[in-house]
Amino acid sequence: MTAHEDRQTGAVGFKDVPGQPMFHRVLNAQPMIVRATLMDVRRRFARDVGDDTLGRLELVLAELMNNVAEHAPTGKERPRRVPVIHLCVVRHNGGLACALTDDGTSLPDECVLPRSLPAAIPDDLPEGGFGWFLIQDLTQALCYYRRESRNYLAFNIPFSADGEG
């Protein structure tokens, strides 16, 4: 393609734009598909984002997407309808901006309200209730709303304080 043709297609300079890596995927909310998606997210950002930040991103996305799978609608439909998740992650100067929407059940209010760890009673340790604590602990600017049949979540995963990026 000549320079003249480049201009005509609007492709001038496109290769030179310092774009930020991005990940976008539409997936069924099922544990094995969530697992494969998380491994793809890790591969997508491995070159540009430090291990610590990637680890925090992976944990938050795992908690959120597995929640959608676990709390899938239990209507009369047979086979049961599997919710569909749209996931988008973009690297920016302050971290990794994430947007996640799904058509599963709506989130109970207490998920996004400030929360603490489940009580660690020595003889009867909690085996659950950690997921939303981890999500809240590891994210910034977490916001949630539901419109019609979809949940919308957006948040940021900051880079480490040591500037690993």
Partner 1 sequence: MKFIVEDAATHLQIKVTETRIDAAIATPFKDKLREIVMKNRKPVHLDMAAVDFMDSSGLGAMIAVRKSLPANLAMVLCAMTPNVERVFRLTRMDSVFDIRADATGKDIRE
Q: Which residues bind partner 1 (CB under 8 A)?
A: 31-32, 34-35, 38, 51-52, 55-56, 58-59, 62-63, 66, 69-70, 117, 120, 122-128, 130-131, 133-134, 137-138
Residue 13: which residues within 8 A CB-CB, separation 6 or more?
none
38 CB-side CA count, 13 A: 20
Q: How far is CA 112 from the centre of its chain?
A: 15
Distance of CA 147 to the CA centre of its chain: 19
Q: How far is the CB of 153 from partner 1 (least distance, A)?
A: 17
d(CA 20, CA 159): 15
Q: Toward partner 1, which CB reaches closer, 17 or 32?
A: 32
CB of 24 to partner 1, least distance (A): 22
Smallest gap from Cβ 25 to partner 1, in A, equals 17
Cβ proximity to partner 1: between 11 and 117 the closer is 117
